[in-house]
Structure 1
Amino acid sequence: MYEVEVKVPAELDRVRLLLESRYGDGDGDGSGNGSRNEDKHGNENGDVDGDTALDATPAGTVVQTDTYYDAPHRSFAETDEALRIRRERRPDSDQNRADGHDGDTRVTYKGPLVDDESKTREEAETAIGNGETFDSILTNLGFEPAATVRKERERYTVVIDTDTTVTANTSPTEFTITLDAVDDVGEYVEVETEVESEIELKSARDGAYTVLESLGLDPDDQLRTSYLGLLLDS
């Protein structure tokens, strides 16, 4: 499984306004005034052009706390890999429960970046019953916590047609749009999807670019550095 992800810095209030209006008027502000000059992506001052309007569906907001680990047998910083435990809860949840979380707890391995145009990686992830227990297993095996990244994530989903690459046809692909407010790092928008094989990577990446452009965001502004890397560099 490959996770295809494109991430750019963004003003979340502006992007949220566009998403919550569901692009209904084709101009992003609900005014019905669609007349404007277009930039190279068909937008002016970040407004959405009617020709690129998408219909996004809210998918909820969560708070994620990601603990990353260093390995005893190699340097993940040098190999561009990552191992983390992610604890997730709703913003309004009761934090007095065991582990402080009421949602999913998952362990994830991320492999090195596989291209030069996005944050696409091979990824393996599974749910675990108790984060503290799994942390104990890792530390007893020599893995040490390196850093913790906390963020509030507001998600939307959108389905667009993407090229299948194998044929001349297109197929509907679901993308997740995530508005991230990351502690000590800043505000970003991620667009991502998952594909099974390398042959699907280009069409998925092009689809992610299309979604970004429909939000008035420029794929050329993307950052391929992880939130962990941005935090460690701050």
Structure 2
Amino acid sequence: MATDENDRYLRPLPVRTAMYEVEVKVPAELDRVRSRLEDGTDAEADDGIGDEDDSTALDATPAGTVVQTDTYYDAPHRTFAETDEALRIRRERHPDADTGSETRVTYKGPLVDDESKTREEAETTIGDGKTFDTILTNLGFEPAATVRKKRERYTVELAETDATESASASSTDFTITLDTVDDVGEYVEVETEVESETELEFARAGAYTVLESLGLDPDDQLRTSYLGLLLDS
């Protein structure tokens, strides 16, 4: 894949005020999902394996592959496992291009609903992850665990009428990621960001629609983070 397709994931991000990240994650066989994304077919259909699937193909756009190394921290003043918060430093690089890497620090708040993995999130680019790690550790934060994963990204625009019965003409961009997580397994995530709680219902319904179009069942979703899955493995 051309390098410039991935450049936008490695450009410095501006300081971002808190938003809501709506995310739905399910275990999946990535070869099957990849085939559906790339050509609208099921990788096992020719072998007669699995049930017939009449889900609608998505007009998804490939958006590059990255490798992420996420270091999560414990706080000195409260226990994030009890408050359902997270603080991490993410180092991201493109494995097949000389575009360098990017480092970001992210705070994730507690889950805000019982139907998806939706959180308030604040994130910004930092120039030197090692130096920021030193700052955190000197303030009493301690590295808790590191999650490593390869992510294949696709984007899709979904009109509100595709996800709800509303006649609104608005639409939302969703990111589909095919994740291979070290020591955890293979998963598909569908996510988007919204600015207010009033937008959460449509965003969640849209994420479910995208999953169903990939032949996946939203009822299979996991609300546990990759960090939680790794610690439980």
**TM-score per shorter chain, which class?**
0.7 to 0.9
Residue of structure 1 equivalent to 2:51: 45
Name the SS for the 1:184 alignment partner.
coil
Give the CA deviation at 1:169. Answer: 1.2
Give the CA deviation at 1:46. Answer: 6.8
Residue of structure 1 equivalent to 2:58: 54
TM-score by length of 2: 0.85
Q: Could you list the per-position Cα deviations for residues 124-181 of structure 1 after superposition, in whole angstroms to 9, with x for gaps in the alignment?
A: 000000100000000000000000000000000001112699x741412110000000
The alpha-carbon distance between structure 1 residues 179 and 48, as it changes in their structure 2 partners (threshold 3 A), is farther
Name the SS for the 2:76 alignment partner.
coil
Q: Could you list the per-position Cα deviations for residues 2-36 of structure 1 after superposition, in whole angstroms to 9, with x for gaps in the alignment?
A: 00000000000110111111x2xxx556x9x9xxx
Residue of structure 2 equivalent to 1:199: 198
Task: In structure 2, list runs of 5 or more residues that go unmatched.
Answer: 1-18
Give the CA deviation at 1:47. Answer: 3.4
Contact kept? 1:46, 1:215, Cα under 8 Å? no
Contact kept? 2:32, 2:42, Cα under 8 Å? no
CA distance in structure 2 between the aligned counterparts of 1:214 and 1:198, rounded to whole angstroms: 25
Residue of structure 2 equivalent to 1:18: 36
How is 1:36-185 mapped onto 2 (pairs within 5 angstroms)? 45=51, 47-49=53-55, 52-93=56-97, 102-162=100-160, 168-185=167-184
Give the CA deviation at 1:102. Answer: 2.2
Q: Could you list the per-position Cα deviations for residues 24-66 of structure 1 after superposition, in whole angstroms to 9, with x for gaps in the alignment?
A: xxx556x9x9xxxxxxxxxx737353xx221000000000000
CA distance in structure 2 between the aligned counterparts of 1:157 and 1:57, rounded to whole angstroms: 5
Name the SS for the 1:55 alignment partner.
coil
Name the SS for the 2:145 alignment partner.
strand
Q: Post-superposition, which runs of at least 4 consecutive aligned residues in structure 1 deviate over 2 A?
A: 44-49
Residue of structure 2 equivalent to 1:97: none
How many equivalent pairs are there? 210
Aligned CA RMSD, in angstroms, stands at 2.2
Q: Does 1:4 align with 2:8?
A: no
TM-score by length of 1: 0.84
CA distance in structure 1 between the aligned counterparts of 2:54 and 2:20, rounded to whole angstroms: 29
CA distance in structure 1 between the aligned counterparts of 2:226 and 2:124, rounded to whole angstroms: 21
